[in-house]
Amino acid sequence: MPKNKVIPIAEAMSHVKSGMSIAVGGFIGQGDPLTLIDHLKTMDVRDLTIYENDAGYRERGVVELVRQGKIKKVVASHIGTTPEIGKAMNEGRLEVEPTPQGTLAEMMRCGGAGLGGFLTPTGIGTIAEEGKQIIELNGRKYILVPSLKCDIAIIRAHAGDTWGNLIYRGTSRNFNVPAAMCADYVIAEVENLYTMGELDPNAIHTSGIFVDAVVRANVEYCTLREEKFNA
């Protein structure tokens, strides 16, 4: 039988140390691992580098960790939904590295897939190509993007079994799938926990092979309404 990976949240999160890189699943609140982020808020860690599509939504998500001064750098495609991030950047409290959304997703996927990098046409002729190697292939220019390996990934799923097989719901799948692939230690919060064998093997989106620890998600966040993001 595959191993039971359900452990207390504090034990799972004790793997996070100052200076580490963390891939974070979710998309402006859709599928954001808010339970794990809430726990991170209570921990004494700093100088973290975050790889995420965004920094959360309004006042919820990684933006809260930025406010606490725990984050050194955010690599993201979009920070327009969290005004605090732009403010922190302008005040010199945070480094932001804008990265095209498809490039960020593929950096994570490639890192998990054992590939050194990939060639993308996205960003040719823009500042996205600055400092990057340009390779011409079959008459088209591409940017060589190195793949991403992170120390930790934190993700959220709608359902999971005790081995970490995961099923997402709706548009909450997003970056949770590639983030799960790219880190040395992957922590998944699940809204509904099942024993092994209960989930349909045909329906699994993330295989438990990618997951190291499973914790219960705060179910309050399953029905989080728009206005709660302002809290």
Partner 1 sequence: MPDAKQTIASRAGRELEDGQIINLGIGLPTLIANYVPEGVDVVIQTENGGIGVGPAPEPGCEDRDRANAGNQPITLVPGGSYFDSATSFAMIRGGHIDATFLGTLQVDEKGNIANWIVPGKMLAGMGGAMDLITGAKIVYIVSEHCSKDGASKLMKQCTFPLTGAEEADVIITERALFRRHPDTGWVLEEVATGFSLDDIAGCTDMAYAVAADVKLDAFGA
30 binds partner 1 (CB under 8 A): yes
- Determine the Cα–Cα distance for residues 10 and 132; give it in Å rounded to an integer: 39
- Determine the Cα–Cα distance for residues 51 and 39; give it in Å rounded to an integer: 18
Q: How far is CA 227 from the centre of its chain?
A: 23
Part of the chain binding partner 1 (CB under 8 A), chosen from 4-12, 39-47, 77-85, 196-204? 77-85
Fill in the per-residue mask, 174 to 213: x = in contact with partner 1 (CB under 8 A), - = not in contact: xxxxx--------------------------x--------
* Cα distance between the two ends of the chain: 43
Out of 72, 93, 169, 216, the residue judged to bind partner 1 by CB under 8 A: 169
Which residue type, as a one-letter code, is found at position 148? L
Closest CA to 61 of 94, 91, 101, 31: 31
- Determine the Cα–Cα distance for residues 199 and 162; give it in Å rounded to an integer: 10
Part of the chain binding partner 1 (CB under 8 A), chosen from 41-49, 95-103, 193-201, 209-217? 95-103
| Minimum CB distance to partner 1 smaller for 7 or for 128 | 128
Part of the chain binding partner 1 (CB under 8 A), chosen from 13-21, 105-113, 192-200, 212-220? 105-113
218 binds partner 1 (CB under 8 A): no
| Minimum CB distance to partner 1 smaller for 27 or for 163 | 27
Out of 68, 98, 115, 209, the residue judged to bind partner 1 by CB under 8 A: 98
Part of the chain binding partner 1 (CB under 8 A), chosen from 2-10, 21-29, 36-44, 59-67? 21-29
77 binds partner 1 (CB under 8 A): yes
171 binds partner 1 (CB under 8 A): yes
Contact 108, 75 (CB under 8 A): no
- Find all residues with CB under 8 Å of 171, minimum gap 6, and list them: 27, 30, 31
Kindly report the backbone phi and psi dihedral angles of residue 206, in degrees, each rounded to the nearest multiple of 5, phi listed first: -120, 120
CB of 13 to partner 1, least distance (A): 24
Out of 22, 50, 71, 105, the residue judged to bind partner 1 by CB under 8 A: 105
- Determine the Cα–Cα distance for residues 120 and 106; give it in Å rounded to an integer: 9
CB of 109 to partner 1, least distance (A): 4
Part of the chain binding partner 1 (CB under 8 A), chosen from 36-44, 106-114, 131-139, 159-167? 106-114
Bridge partners, 159 (sequence order): 167, 192
Closest CA to 105 of 36, 113, 207: 113
DSSP at 194: E
Out of 9, 56, 57, 64, the residue judged to bind partner 1 by CB under 8 A: 57
